[in-house]
Amino acid sequence: MTITPTLIREYDAAAPAPEATETATFGLGCFWGPDAQFGAIEGAVRTRVGYAGGTKVDPTYHALGDHTEVLQVDYDPDRCSFRDLVAVAARSHDPRREVRKTQYQNVLFAGSAAQREVLHEYLADVGLDPEAIATRVERLSRFYPAEDYHQKYSLRSDPSLSGAFEDAGYDDAALRESPAAAKLNGVAAGNDLPDGDDLATAFERTVGGR
């Protein structure tokens, strides 16, 4: 089995629908790496990168204003919890230090009162005071998707993978929201996929057959 348009379409058709998922948003430096990291996680369904945390309306990469680069992940709550994702985000950086440049700062966003409660409980459980740590802990007011060329960066950098999505008829928006693209972007960046994921074997056969 290799990465084919049929495999991509079937994988995406079998994934949970958007209304069956919940969403987490984190700022963890340059968003390319977190996009790949979180896309490979068990229970992650869709990912996208963008900008949040600031006040500028309609930011762009070259006119970012006071926003931060962020990763957004839609996850299946039956297979993964918000607390699980917070734990991954917290382990991905040092909460006691913050970079100066707003664009690449670490931010743990709460999209709801329930997420805020989980965030505070997790930080307390690991001995961190959300009011004292350097990492920003904020309410998510709005998320702005980044430009298409930033979405699924590792996948886009591999013609054997991006070409399969083109052959499947996926445009930029479909690629951004594709569960198969989230997983393949993760493995293309060197992350392991969950055990039993068909895309892991297909990826190895695709890249190994060059």
Average pLDDT over residues 4-26: 97
How confident is the model at residue 199, as a pLDDT? 87
**How far are the Cα atoms of 77, 94, 112, 123, 191 from residue 22, in angstroms, in the given order?**
7, 26, 11, 21, 22
Please list, in sequence order, all residues whose beta carbon lies within 8 angstroms of the beta carbon of residue 113, skipping any fewer than 6 positions away: none
Q: What is the mean pLDDT of the chain?
A: 95
Task: Kindly tell me if the per-residue pLDDT of 20 is higher than 80.
Answer: yes
Mean pLDDT computed over 55-66: 98
More confident residue, 205 or 51: 51
Instruction: Give the pLDDT of residue 136.
Output: 97
Q: Render pLDDT for 93-109 as a digit per residue (tens, 0 to 9).
A: 999 999 999 999 999 99
CB atoms within 10 A of CB 112: 13
Confidence at residue 201, expressed as pLDDT on a 0 to 100 scale:
79
Count the residues in the chain: 210
Q: Give me the domain span that covers residue 56.
A: 5-208
Query: Coil, strand or helix: which one is 110?
Result: strand
Locate tokens 């839609």: which residue? 74
Contact indicator for 53, 104 with CB cutoff of 8 Å: no
User: So which residues are the catalytic ones?
Assistant: 30
Give the number of domains in the chain: 1
Listing from the earlier edge strand, what are the strands of the sheet with 68-75?
136-139, 106-110, 22-28, 68-75, 44-52, 143-145
The distance from CA 30 to its chain's CA centroid, rounded to whole angstroms, is: 12
Collapsed DSSP state (helix, strand, coil) of residue 96: coil
pLDDT digits (tens, 9 = 90+) for 119-178: 999 999 999 999 899 999 999 999 999 999 999 999 999 998 999 999 999 999 999 999
> 187: closest CA among 27, 3, 1?
3
In the prediction, which pLDDT does 170 show? 98
- pLDDT recorded at residue 1: 66
Characterize 38-66 residue by residue with b for buried, 16 or more Cβ atoms within 10 angstroms of its Cβ, and e for exposed: bbbbebbbbbbbbbbbbeeeebeeeebee
**CATH code (residue 32):** 3.30.1060.10
